[in-house]
C-alpha cells in the first residue's frame, strides 16, 4: 500500500516535537493504543532523528515519517533512520529531487498556486498545505485547488478536533496534520494514557459514527406495513412505504423480506466508509465485501460487517453531512 493510501486511511497524522528520544516508543505505543499507528516526527529538535530510528527499529508496523526537513543532509539522516516519508515546511527543490531520487515519498510545503504548479512539474501528486488556518483554511484551499485536479493535499497548521471534519470533507485532502493529541507537555510529563485518550477522541470525531436506523426483518410486504404502522401509531411517526421496506419515521425500517441478519440490521452513519472500514479492521473486525454498494459516481456508500450482534447485522452508511 502506498504511503498516501495509508495516510488517507488514518485521516490524521500526529505532528510530534520530541525532546527526549527515549520517549519515542512509549509515544508510538500510546498512539497505536488509541488506534492511530502513524506519526510525523519533526526535526525541530536534535532528538528527532534518534526518535525516528527508535520507532522504525522496534515498531515495524508503525508508519513513521520525518517533518520540518530543511536540507538534503536532514533528509538523508531521516531516511537512513527509517523514515517512510518526508515532509518539508516549504518548497525546496533540492530536497524534493533528493527524495525522489531515493524513492521516498515527499510532501513539500505549498502555500500558493505557484508552489502547487512547481510540485506538479516535478511529479509530486500530494503536497503539504502549510500553514493552513493562517492562510485561510479549507475555504482558501478549495478556492486555489480548483485548477489542479490531480493534486492532493495534507493541510497542517491550526487544525484541531473542532475543525478537522470541515477539512476531511473536501475530497482533495488525504489527511490532516495535527498536534493537539501529542502536545509537548504530555510527552515530556509521560502522560501517555492521556495521549491515547485524546487519540481515540480524535478518531471518534473523524469517523462520525451515529445511529442511522434499525432494520427489522419481516416475511412479507403486508407484515412490514402492519409493523411499521404500529410504530407510527405508537409514536406519531410518518409512514413511508418503499419498494423493499417500509419506514416509520427516520429510525425504524421494516423490511418486506428477510435480508442480512437473523432479526434485521442496525445501520450507522459514518463520515467516510473507506476510512471507517480501515479503522474497524485495525480493531479486528471484518466486512462482508459482497455487500459493498456504490453510487453512480463510484463512491462507496454502504457495507455490512461479517459479524452479527444478537441477531442483527451491522450496516455502515455514508453520511455526506459534515459533523
Query: Over the stretch 46-81, which tens digit does the pLDDT of each residue have?
Result: 999 999 999 999 999 999 999 999 999 999 999 999
Together in a domain, 178 and 240:
no
> What dihedral do alpha carbons 312, 169, 109, 136 form, nearest 10°?
-150
Together in a domain, 136 and 198:
yes
Together in a domain, 65 and 106:
yes
With cut-offs at 50, 70 and 90, classify the pLDDT of residue 230.
very high
Classify residue 293: in a domain, yes or no: yes
Q: Which residue has the cell 495534507?
A: 154
Together in a domain, 23 and 172:
yes
Q: How far is residue 89's CA from residue 182's CA, in Å, rounded to a whole number?
A: 19
154: pLDDT strictly greater than 80 = yes
Q: How far is residue 158's CA from residue 276's CA, in Å, rounded to a whole number?
A: 24
pLDDT digits (tens, 9 = 90+) for 248-258: 999 999 999 99
Q: By residue range, what is the domain housing residue 244?
A: 210-318
Together in a domain, 59 and 190:
yes
User: How many other CB atoms are found less than 10 A from the CB of residue 219?
Assistant: 11
Residue ending a domain, choose from 207, 241, 272: 207
Together in a domain, 191 and 241:
no
Together in a domain, 106 and 125:
yes
The CATH number covering residue 301 comes to 3.10.180.10
With cut-offs at 50, 70 and 90, classify the pLDDT of residue 148.
very high
Residue ending a domain, choose from 207, 223, 252: 207
Q: What is the pTM of this model?
A: 0.92
Together in a domain, 184 and 268:
no
What pLDDT was estimated at residue 322?
56
pLDDT digits (tens, 9 = 90+) for 85-96: 999 999 999 999
Q: Where are the beta strands (DSSP E) in the chain?
A: 12-16, 38-42, 63-67, 86-87, 106-107, 109-110, 126-129, 152-155, 176-178, 210-217, 239-241, 245-248, 252-255, 264-270, 287-294, 300-309, 312-318
The CATH number covering residue 100 comes to 3.20.20.70
69 neighbors 86 (Cβ within 8 angstroms)? yes
Q: How far is residue 250's CA from residue 236's CA, in Å, rounded to a whole number?
A: 12
Establish whether 128 is a catalytic residue: yes
- % of the chain beyond a pLDDT of 90: 97
Q: Return mean pLDDT, the chain.
A: 96
Together in a domain, 175 and 93:
yes
With cut-offs at 50, 70 and 90, classify the pLDDT of residue 321.
confident
Catalytic residue among 40, 47, 77, 253: 40
Classify residue 97: in a domain, yes or no: yes
What pLDDT was estimated at residue 320?
81
Residue ending a domain, choose from 178, 207, 236: 207
Establish whether 40 is a catalytic residue: yes
245: pLDDT strictly greater than 70 = yes
User: Mean pLDDT throughout 235-251?
Assistant: 96
Count of structural domains, the chain: 2
What pLDDT was estimated at residue 323?
47
pLDDT digits (tens, 9 = 90+) for 172-223: 999 999 999 999 999 999 999 999 999 999 999 999 999 999 999 999 999 9
Together in a domain, 36 and 84:
yes
Together in a domain, 171 and 234:
no
User: Mean pLDDT throughout 255-284?
Assistant: 96
pLDDT digits (tens, 9 = 90+) for 110-126: 999 999 999 999 999 99
Together in a domain, 161 and 306:
no
Catalytic residue among 6, 128, 152, 172: 128
165: pLDDT strictly greater than 80 = yes
Amino acid at each position: 500500500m502506498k504511503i498516501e493510501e495509508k495516510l488517507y486511511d488514518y485521516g490524521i497524522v500526529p505532528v510530534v516535537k520530541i525532546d527526549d528520544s527515549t520517549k519515542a516508543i512509549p509515544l508510538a505505543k500510546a498512539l497505536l493504543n488509541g488506534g492511530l499507528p502513524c506519526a510525523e516526527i519533526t526535526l525541530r529538535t536534535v532528538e528527532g532523528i534518534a526518535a525516528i530510528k527508535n520507532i522504525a527499529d522496534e515498531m515495524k508496523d508503525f508508519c513513521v515519517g520525518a517533518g520540518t526537513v530543511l536540507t538534503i543532509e536532514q533528509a538523508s539522516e531521516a531516511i537512513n533512520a527509517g523514515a517512510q516519508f518526508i515532509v518539508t515546511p516549504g518548497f525546496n527543490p533540492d530536497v524534493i529531487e533528493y527524495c525522489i531520487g531515493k524513492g521516498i515519498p515527499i510532501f513539500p510545503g505549498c502555500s500558493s498556486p505557484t508552489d502547487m504548479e512547481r510540485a506538479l512539474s516535478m511529479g509530486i501528486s500530494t503536497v503539504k498545505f502549510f500553514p493552513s488556518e493562517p492562510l485561510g483554511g479549507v475555504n482558501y484551499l478549495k478556492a486555489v485547488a480548483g485548477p489542479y485536479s490531480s493534486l492532493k493535499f495534507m493541510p497542517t497548521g491550526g487544525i484541531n478536533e473542532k475543525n478537522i471534519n470541515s477539512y476531511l470533507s473536501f475530497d482533495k485532502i488525504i489527511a490532516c496534520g495535527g498536534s493537539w493529541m501529542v502536545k509537548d507537555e504530555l510527552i515530556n510529563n509521560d502522560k501517555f494514557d492521556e495521549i491515547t485518550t485524546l487519540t481515540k477522541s480524535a478518531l471518534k470525531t473523524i469517523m462520525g459514527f451515529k445511529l442511522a436506523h434499525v432494520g427489522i426483518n419481516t416475511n412479507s410486504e403486508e407484515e412490514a406495513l402492519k409493523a411499521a404502522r404500529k410504530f407510527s401509531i405508537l409514536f406519531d411517526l410518518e409512514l413511508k412505504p418503499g419498494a423493499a421496506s417500509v419506514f416509520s419515521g427516520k429510525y425504524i425500517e421494516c423490511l418486506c423480506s428477510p435480508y442480512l441478519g437473523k432479526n434485521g440490521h442496525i445501520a450507522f452513519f459514518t463520515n467516510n466508509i473507506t476510512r471507517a472500514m480501515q479503522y474497524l479492521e485495525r480493531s479486528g473486525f471484518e466486512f462482508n465485501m459482497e455487500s459493498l454498494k456504490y453510487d453512480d459516481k463510484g463512491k462507496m456508500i454502504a457495507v455490512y460487517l461479517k459479524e452479527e450482534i444478537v441477531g442483527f447485522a451491522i450496516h455502515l452508511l455514508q453520511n455526506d453531512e459534515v459533523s
